[in-house]
């Protein structure tokens, strides 16, 4: 029976994977995330499974391969934390879960938007203290407003549909526009200038890193609401904080943060040394921060487990790896395409 070193385990991971596994793999669950220091935990294993906040740098890749591990199964869609050049050089196959529940993420984005628009988070905190005052809770209708969707993959398209259902006008920006979506594509600067709500649904790549920064925020519609359920590195947090303080940004709903790996997924309530920028963002009344939980639904967890185990099945049986990504893939058109032109027998490596 193949042994899988499963890193960054949470109770919901163990429950969903045990249910889907059916005893075909010996899964060794570890609470620690995959870093160089955690490599000894993978001794004797045939594969490693990691999550979005792991640090898969060259040292980790080398350490896995030295232990005889030839496949790394990422149980997430994002892969900006993986050194693919190192993986390619070492012959480490990397697979992922490209889509687990786009509805879960899009619906969470809508939940953040509605909570901010109608101050639900503040109202809930008040009524817990039996304060039923409505002062300061005036919101605004979404109907008739303009939503700007940055990134029109599955999640972006679903969120666009939700916004359309509210009666909003929808504008879209994508580096690779898809006319088949029926969306109205505009340049990013125009989208920012016209949108009352801007929601980010694109991958983190060198071209998109800090795409929301001081310069782009200066071009945006004053008082707009920013929603980010994609990747924290898309937003320059310091620039966002400054814009929230001066009113350039009216509100922000963040399920991700650019330095989240040290903070998210764990109870940090007793930490005395905190991330200053994150602390300031969390303290603001017009900001909601959730801990990268947009994916966290029963349906998504089941899909993550099924796809991850299917990826491992395909690898160990010698079958094609539909969800493999390699260094060469990332040089073709866009990383989101993940299509390697040199792939043979259904595999990159």
Q: Which residues pair with 26 in a beta bridge?
A: 3
333 is catalytic: no
Annotated active-site residue in 96, 157, 201, 231: 231
Residue with tokens 């480490």: 92
Neighbours of 110 (CB within 10 A): 21
- Which tokens in the block code for residue 6? 């499963």
Annotated active-site residue in 260, 298, 299, 333: 260
Annotated active-site residue in 33, 75, 96, 292: 292
What's the CA gap between 28 and 1, in Å, rounded? 12
118 is catalytic: no
The three-state secondary structure class of 10 is: coil
CA neighbor of 70 nearest in space, from 136, 138, 4: 4
292 is catalytic: yes
Provide φ and ψ at 288, rounded to 5°.
-120, 125
Give every CB contact of residue 58 below 8 A, 6+ residues apart in sequence: 83, 86
Q: Are 34 and 7 within 8 A, CB to CB?
A: yes
Residues with catalytic roles: 231, 260, 292
């Amino acid at each position: 029976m193949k042994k899988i070193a499963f890193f960054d385990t949470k109770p919901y991971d163990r429950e969903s994977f045990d249910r889907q596994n059916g005893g075909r793999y010996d899964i060794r669950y570890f609470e620690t995330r995959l870093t160089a220091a955690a490599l000894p935990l993978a001794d004797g294993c045939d594969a490693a499974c990691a999550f979005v906040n792991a640090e898969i740098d060259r040292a980790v890749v080398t350490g896995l391969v030295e232990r005889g591990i030839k496949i790394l199964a990422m149980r997430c869609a994002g892969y900006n934390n993986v050194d693919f050049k190192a993986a390619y050089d070492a012959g480490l196959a990397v697979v992922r879960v490209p889509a687990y529940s786009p509805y879960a993420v899009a619906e969470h984005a809508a939940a953040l938007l509605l909570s901010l628009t109608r101050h639900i988070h503040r109202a809930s905190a008040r009524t817990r203290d039996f304060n039923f005052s409505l002062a300061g809770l005036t919101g605004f209708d979404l109907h008739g407003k303009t939503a700007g969707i940055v990134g029109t993959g599955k999640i972006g398209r679903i969120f666009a549909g939700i916004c359309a259902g509210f009666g909003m006008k929808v504008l879209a920006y994508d580096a690779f526009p898809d006319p088949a979506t029926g969306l109205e594509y505009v340049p990013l600067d125009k989208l920012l200038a016209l949108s009352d709500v801007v929601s980010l649904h694109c991958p983190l790549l060198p071209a998109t890193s800090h795409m929301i920064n001081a310069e782009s925020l200066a071009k945006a519609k004053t008082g707009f609401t920013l929603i980010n359920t994609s990747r924290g590195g898309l937003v320059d947090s310091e620039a966002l904080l400054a814009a929230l303080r001066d009113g350039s940004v009216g509100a922000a709903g963040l399920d991700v943060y650019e330095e989240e790996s040290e903070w998210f997924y764990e109870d940090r309530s007793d930490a005395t040394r905190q991330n200053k920028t994150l602390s300031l963002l969390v303290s603001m009344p017009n900001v909601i921060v959730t801990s990268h939980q947009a994916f966290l639904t029963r349906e998504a967890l089941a899909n993550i487990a099924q796809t991850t185990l299917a990826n491992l099945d395909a690898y160990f049986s010698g079958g094609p790896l539909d969800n493999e990504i390699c260094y060469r893939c990332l040089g073709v058109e866009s990383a989101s395409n993940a299509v390697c032109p040199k792939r043979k027998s259904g595999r990159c490596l």
